[in-house]
Amino acid sequence: MKPAWTTRLPWLILPLVSLGLDAWSKAAILARFQPGEVKPVIPGFFNLTLGFNPGAVFGSFANASDGLRMALFLVVGLLAVLYFGYEFLKAGTPTLMRWSYGLILGGALGNSLDRLTRGSVVDFLDFYYGDWHYWTFNIADCCIVCGAILLGLTLLIHWRNAPR
């Protein structure tokens, strides 16, 4: 009989695909764009543009010292990878939650890899409409946000279906 953890190993494909798509997309942008270069994809709505975010979510901590930022991101990143990795692989994790943890884990690994290798995160997806402009982001950010939304919905479903 196979150990129980071997049935969870195929799930590793999800964070690895997320990480791979993120790394591939960043490499493609880095090879084709100069920092700050903008190429409209859907005029008036969506551009590709190369930017570097030394901070965290929405540029927070961007003005902190390099040492403080690196220490903070190292600790927070390691804790996130350990927590979401554990929840992702533990026995009994429901399928939708495993999907959400896998997406969050893949995204966290993608942005952490950027911080370790470049000192900042490569961002390139740029959405805007009229005077409204969203922060530039990347595939790892998409995975984290989609995973967090799925996790929230899954928790609501489990809460709603829990016996009272």
Interval 130-139: pLDDT, tens: 999 999 999 9
Q: Where are the beta strands (DSSP E) in 32-151?
A: 38-42, 46-53, 121-129, 132-133
- CA dist 110 to 15, 17, 37, 104, 106, Å? 9, 11, 22, 10, 6
**Average pLDDT of the segment spanning 88-109:** 92
Q: CA 19 to CA 96: how far, in whole Å?
A: 19
- Kindly report which listed range (16-30, 67-81, 107-121) carries the lowest average pLDDT score: 67-81
Residue 6 pLDDT grade (very low, low, confident, very high; cuts 50, 70, 90): low
* Lookup: tokens for 111: 């942005």
User: Is residue 84 over pLDDT 90?
Assistant: no
Is 137:50 a contact under the CB 8 Å cutoff?
A: no
User: DSSP H helical segments within 9-60, as ranges?
Assistant: 13-32
What's the mean pLDDT when you consider all of the chain?
Answer: 89
Among residues 114, 123, 126, 131, the one annotated as catalytic is: 123
User: Is residue 63 over pLDDT 80?
Assistant: no
User: Is residue 45 over pLDDT 60?
Assistant: yes
Is 22 one of the catalytic residues? no
- Percentage of residues in the chain having pLDDT higher than 70: 93
User: Is residue 71 over pLDDT 90?
Assistant: no
Is 123 one of the catalytic residues? yes
Among residues 22, 114, 126, 141, the one annotated as catalytic is: 141
Residue 2 pLDDT grade (very low, low, confident, very high; cuts 50, 70, 90): low
